[in-house]
Amino acid sequence: MVSRKFGKIAVTVILCALFSQFFSTATAGQVSRSLVDRPDDISGYQIHLVYVALKGSTDSRLDTSAKVESWTKEANAWLQSYLGHDLIFDTYQGKADISFMRSRFTPAALCRDTCDALSKLESEYQAQDASYNGTKTLVFIVNEKLSETACGWSMIPGNLVILNDISSQRCNTRANLPKTGLSWLPHTLAHELFHSYGIHHQCFNASDLMIGSPECKINKATYDRVPLTMDATKSHYLGSDASDGIDLLQMPIWSDESGDVSYSQIKQISDSKYIPQLKDGTVFAVLGRTTKKFDWAWDKKFSPQGKIISCQFVSGTTLLAGRVEKSGCIFDVPASLRPGTSFTVNENWNMGPWHGTATIDGTLVRTDLTASPCTEFACFIGGSTTAHQSCWDASVTQMTLQQFVNNQWVDQATVDTVTANKRCTNQKFQNAPIYQLNFTETGTFIYRWFIPARPGYVSTIDKPFAVIVNEETSPESTQADASAALAQALKS
């Protein structure tokens, strides 16, 4: 179920910054440094920038300069002129909100074997900023070269982007600006962001912003030498979803709010396939135990994991927050809840502009997987249960239920016996009295069955039994509890 794809543009853009001593205040003309995402100027989806100083590198303090913000402004100016829309970059008090993060990884450690820099940096940022919940797209900015071929890459689709080698001539040139309309870093930033929105490399037009290798054959005579376009015919990913099933114009990513939040909602496609179920298909949770994992598969190959997921378990007035285990939810179910009552599990997640919700209903059961609200030995106020009974031969046609009250047995009801095949499996003893006990107060209630004398037989007394009745919110009593209560009551 877990699948993360990454897109690369032919030249690299990740901001992995050089690492040195951290200053909590900035010099004159600079914004202050922050390790966390500061309060937003606006609500809703946004793109948050994170300047990363890798282990052993020099801190360039890009988070407190205007340089990074200039890339966002240039990218947005081009988008506004070409599309009439621009993207939403996170701001604090009117300025770009750029977090700073010192990484424990060196460039080599970040990209050892395969480059999983995105997931490693996200984990570090999660540990640093407790408010992170996946609702924003994170753009990590790194000074060092992490790739020989790419200036940036992203999760496709997802909420993570990285720009690297940003001080080099190959990734930070402005020579292409007069010909294309964008210098290289803003170009890469926009390209990778649109990857994160689900658009793969597009090969239909050599001037398109989303062209890239290795999928496309790059004509070096024209690449980066003609004015940039974006789906010029509006037939691939703008005003159409023909290329990747996504129309960017409908996505809720634009500052003018022209997109629709419902468009970026991802549907669960597995229903109850990855949900704990009994043999009969009943979704269940065991009282007093930790549940099995509630998990779902999602459309468009999304696989949300970790802190971006929130889990909720609801049963009556009980509301539990769950723990996330990889991509699913687990819950510690209180023993005080009642068997047979229903519950609902909700999973919600956000991954940048993408979001999903899954809900399923189930039934609370005991450790033996039974779900009747009351047993023969335990019930609650307002509940009812079938009185415990033994099996008798066909000569027993009527029995009297007696209750032990004030140290004496008092008749409660006379009950005709019936054939009880499911309970009485011995062919000689298939008769049993069936009687429903209803409870309006708490306490220990002691009963027995009495068989009056009949021709050829003396009267017979069956073994007494007890039913413990509690408040509905109290833990359920066991058969052992009832036996102990019975012994104590008869002894006294």
Residues 357 and 384 in one domain: no
Residues 79 and 32 in one domain: yes
Domain residues for the domain of 432 are 378-491
How high is the pLDDT of residue 11?
A: 36
Query: Residue 360 sits in a domain of what CATH number?
Result: 2.60.40
Residue 270 domain flag: no
Residue 27 domain flag: yes
Residues 316 and 412 in one domain: no
How high is the pLDDT of residue 260?
A: 97
How high is the pLDDT of residue 15?
A: 34
The pTM of the full predicted model, rounded to 2 decimals, is 0.79
Q: Which long-range contacts (CB under 8 A, 24 or more apart) does 231-234 make?
A: 231/202, 232/205, 232/207, 232/208
Residue 276 domain flag: no
Residue 319 domain flag: yes
Q: Give the 3-state DSSP-derived string for 233-295, with helices as H, strands as E and coil as C.
A: CCCCCCCCCCCCCCCHHHCCCECCCCCCHHHHEECECCCCCCCCECCCCCEEEECCCECCCEC
Query: Nearest to residue 2, comparing CAs of 401, 301, 449?
Result: 301
How high is the pLDDT of residue 281?
A: 96
Query: Nearest to residue 246, comparing CAs of 175, 196, 180?
Result: 196
| Residues in Cβ contact with 148 at an 8 Å cutoff, skipping those fewer than 6 apart | none
Instruction: For 319-374, write each residue's pLDDT tens digit.
Output: 999 999 999 999 999 988 889 999 999 999 999 999 999 999 999 999 999 999 89
Residues 353 and 392 in one domain: no
Residue 482 domain flag: yes
Residue 259 domain flag: no
Residues 173 and 43 in one domain: yes
Coil, strand or helix at 29: coil
Residues 322 and 188 in one domain: no
How high is the pLDDT of residue 161?
A: 97
Record the tokens describing residue 228, joined without a space: 């940039």
How high is the pLDDT of residue 348?
A: 97
* Cβ atoms of 214 and 315 closer than 8 Å: no
β-strand 47-54 against 431-433: which pairing, if any? unpaired
Residues 95 and 221 in one domain: yes
Residues 349 and 419 in one domain: no
Overall domain count for the chain: 3
